[in-house]
Amino acid sequence: MTDHLGQSILSVYQGDSKLSVYQGDSKPLAGTSKCIGFVVTSMFLLILQACGGGGSNVVVDPLPSAPVPAPAQPAETNPCASYTVGGVTRQGQVDGDNCVYSSLFVSEDSPLTVDLTIPLIDGIHIFEATLQVGEDVDTGTPSVGPTLTIDAGNTLVWTNKDDYLLVTRGSTIQANGTSTSPITLTGYEDAVSGTAAFDDVQLWGGVVINGKGITNKCSDDQRANNTCHIQSEGKPSHYGGDDNADNSGTLRYVVMKHSGSEAAPGDELNGLTLNAVGSGTTIENIQVYSTYDDGVEFFGGAVSVTNLIALYVNDDSIDYADGWVGTVTNALIIHHRDNGNRCIEADNQGSVFDAQPNTNGTINNMTCITSGSDSAEGGGLGTHGDSEGVLLRRGVMSTINNSIVVDLYANEEGANGNECLELDDSETRTHAENGATAINSTIIACDEVGKDSLSNGTSVAEWFASGTNNVAIQGDGGDTTVDSDIQILTGFYTATEFIDADGNSFTVTPVNGASHIGAVTRANDWTQGWTICLRARATESCGPWFL
């Protein structure tokens, strides 16, 4: 302590008497009767000793100790995705285990222009606007854009039904899930609030990838002069070019759920839209589940897809047009019991049936399970038409190999107009007659096998039956997957033995070296572990109605 002169004082007690001891010589000890020795060094008292006897107690008031600092707290880590542009860093906001990304982070008006990685977190990545990768251009040559990387096991959701994931020309996506850690893209009501029904649609837009591949909506001159800029369906963006080997990245083990917002009447986003996407792009092991418009739609390009599941798609499960020349291998398609249109709808071009290059897609090992349900116009609940098999039209060329098309309920309902194969116009039928369109090693088991006739008077059903190793089975009033008279499928697996409507066994030899027909066998089930709603309803309440 100090006195009013600023001198250091030590308080010493002798018995009950207090002695004030000043440091230094400026003031004598008050009331000192005995010898008291002390040493003060710097700011600390080292020794204080009372001399003599007489039962004196010397008590030293301790100097106040310095406060002990609290343990340093580790800085809170933000696990959300971030990127830096022009010295400014933008990052998602933590909300519990989730990360939330506002329109200031990314949107159509503020697209990504640098690479971005969506890291794996314990929760969900929530986007409040469109996740647009790269800038959309409608003039000149698209530049090389950024790459969006989505780590395996992530779930991304969108809060608004009109927002979606868009990868522009020149940009890429790397979404590499695994069979044990798939990537899920869905709506907020599904993954966060938990209020979505199993067959809800239009909770968000979907996935759109724009490529620099060839579309027959552009002329040779436009492609040569880099002036091919076709506006996409749904929300406007642009695609097209002259590079059918273009690489837009990878989608592997990705599940897309509850999509298909409507930009305008009849103009909707699909589960997955591939606009002139090139063959350098890898797409394998994907599922489109409960979407309002098409499951996967190809507009030109040459991209191929391996291992596709389209479950509860309201419109066409696979739709291709405008010069697409790729291949889909292993496609499992199951319609909703009350709502679904076609397994395949294929066109050359909507307004010019002989546009070049001609659409010429290939489908290998498809299982198409329709429900026989009718459209709303026909007294049913279908939003886009009757539940049917394959429609080829508008001058398209196609090859279908090693496939199965069945109508589960047409036999029970006697459905009219729910055909399993239709060739819609003279241009398309001409391609069938001259061999440009072919169906091989395929079973069709439906109440109405085919619709229409070729120019030579041959019915479409007869033309199909004349193909290599094809078998057409007319329904006999039973369920084609479980009826004892017809055995083609066991659940959605290709049966190990085929039995026709007369109870006779038959075989179908696959072409092109395939080991089986149909999409999936029990012995080689590539759907295990990463898909949703494919198992019996006792296990998954959203499973197909016939399991």
Residue of 445, 361, 369 lying closest to 411 (CA atoms): 445
Asked if residue 540 has pLDDT above 80, the reply is yes
- The mean pLDDT of 462-479, rounded to a whole number, is 84
Q: Is the peptide bond before 28 cis (omega within 30 degrees of 0)?
A: no
Asked if residue 17 has pLDDT above 70, the reply is no
Q: How far apart are CA 506 and CA 445, in angstroms?
A: 13
Highest mean pLDDT among 57-61, 197-201, 382-386, 413-417: 197-201
Asked if residue 52 has pLDDT above 50, the reply is no
> What pLDDT was estimated at residue 502?
86
Q: How confident is the model at residue 180 (pLDDT cuts 50, 70, 90)?
A: very high
- The mean pLDDT of 205-225, rounded to a whole number, is 97
> What pLDDT was estimated at residue 74?
61
Q: Is the dihedral of CA 452, 457, 462, 466 positive or negative?
A: negative
> What pLDDT was estimated at residue 41?
37
Q: What is the SS3 assignment for 191?
A: helix
Hey, how many other C-beta atoms are within 10 angstroms of the C-beta on 73?
A: 6
> What pLDDT was estimated at residue 364?
99
Q: How confident is the model at residue 522 (pLDDT cuts 50, 70, 90)?
A: very high
> What pLDDT was estimated at residue 80?
99
Asked if residue 47 has pLDDT above 60, the reply is no
Report yes or no: 36 and 4 within 8 Å, Cβ to Cβ. no
> What pLDDT was estimated at residue 235?
86
pLDDT digits (tens, 9 = 90+) for 283-315: 999 999 999 999 999 999 999 999 999 999 999
Asked if residue 531 has pLDDT above 70, the reply is yes
Report yes or no: 202 and 175 within 8 Å, Cβ to Cβ. no
pLDDT digits (tens, 9 = 90+) for 243-283: 999 999 999 999 999 999 887 777 889 999 999 999 999 99
Asked if residue 10 has pLDDT above 60, the reply is no
Choice among 132-136, 200-204, 471-475, 505-509 with the minimum mean pLDDT: 471-475
Q: What does R_g of the chain's alpha carbons equal in angstroms? A: 37
Residue of 471, 466, 462 lying closest to 501 (CA atoms): 471
> What pLDDT was estimated at residue 545?
84
Report yes or no: 69 and 25 within 8 Å, Cβ to Cβ. no
Q: How far apart are CA 170 and CA 153, in angstroms?
A: 26
In the 8-state DSSP scheme, what is residue 412? H
Q: How far apart are CA 355 and CA 304, in angstroms?
A: 22
> What pLDDT was estimated at residue 448?
87
> What pLDDT was estimated at residue 450?
93
The helix (H) or strand (E) run that includes residue 410 is helix 410-413
> What pLDDT was estimated at residue 264?
73
Q: How far apart are CA 11 and CA 1, in angstroms?
A: 9
Q: How far apart are CA 275 and CA 297, in angstroms?
A: 8
Give residues with Cβ within 8 angstroms of 271, minimum separation 6.
Answer: 206, 207, 256, 259, 260, 288, 289, 291, 293, 294, 295, 296, 310, 313
Q: How confident is the model at residue 1 (pLDDT cuts 50, 70, 90)?
A: very low
CA distances from 511 to 133, 488, 523 (A): 41, 18, 19
Q: How confident is the model at residue 70 (pLDDT cuts 50, 70, 90)?
A: low
Residues 130, 131, 135, CA angle at the centre, nearest 5°? 100
Q: How far apart are CA 547 and CA 541, in angstroms?
A: 11
SS3 labels along 66-93? CCCCCCCCCCCCCCCCEEEECCEEEECE
Highest mean pLDDT among 31-40, 70-79, 122-131: 122-131
Chain position carrying tokens 């096991």: 153
> What pLDDT was estimated at residue 234?
84
Q: How far apart are CA 80 and CA 89, in angstroms?
A: 12
pLDDT digits (tens, 9 = 90+) for 315-367: 999 999 999 999 999 999 999 988 889 999 999 999 999 999 999 999 999 99
Q: How far apart are CA 280 and CA 284, in angstroms?
A: 13
Chain position carrying tokens 């100090």: 2
Asked if residue 451 has pLDDT above 80, the reply is yes
Asked if residue 46 has pLDDT above 70, the reply is no
The helix (H) or strand (E) run that includes residue 426 is helix 426-433
Q: How far apart are CA 11 and CA 502, in angstroms?
A: 117
Burial 406-434 (b: 16+ CB within 10 A, else e): bbbbbbbeebeebbbbbbbbebbbebbee
pTM, 2 dp: 0.85
Asked if residue 426 has pLDDT above 90, the reply is yes
Tell me the HSE value of 211 on the side-chain side, using a 13 A CA sphere.
30
- The mean pLDDT of 72-87, rounded to a whole number, is 86
Mean of the per-residue pLDDT values of the chain: 87
In the 8-state DSSP scheme, what is residue 131? E
> What pLDDT was estimated at residue 232?
95
Q: How confident is the model at residue 24 (pLDDT cuts 50, 70, 90)?
A: very low
CA distances from 419 to 10, 355, 445, 446 (A): 108, 27, 10, 7
Q: How confident is the model at residue 467 (pLDDT cuts 50, 70, 90)?
A: very high
Question: Which ranges constitute the DSSP H helices of 344-383?
Answer: none
Residues 283, 286, 288, CA angle at the centre, nearest 5°? 125
Token couple for 290:
């409960």
> What pLDDT was estimated at residue 417?
58
> What pLDDT was estimated at residue 37?
40
pLDDT digits (tens, 9 = 90+) for 83-114: 999 999 999 999 999 999 999 999 999 999 99
> What pLDDT was estimated at residue 538?
84
Asked if residue 30 has pLDDT above 50, the reply is no
The one-letter code for the residue type at 511 is: V
End-to-end CA distance of the chain: 89
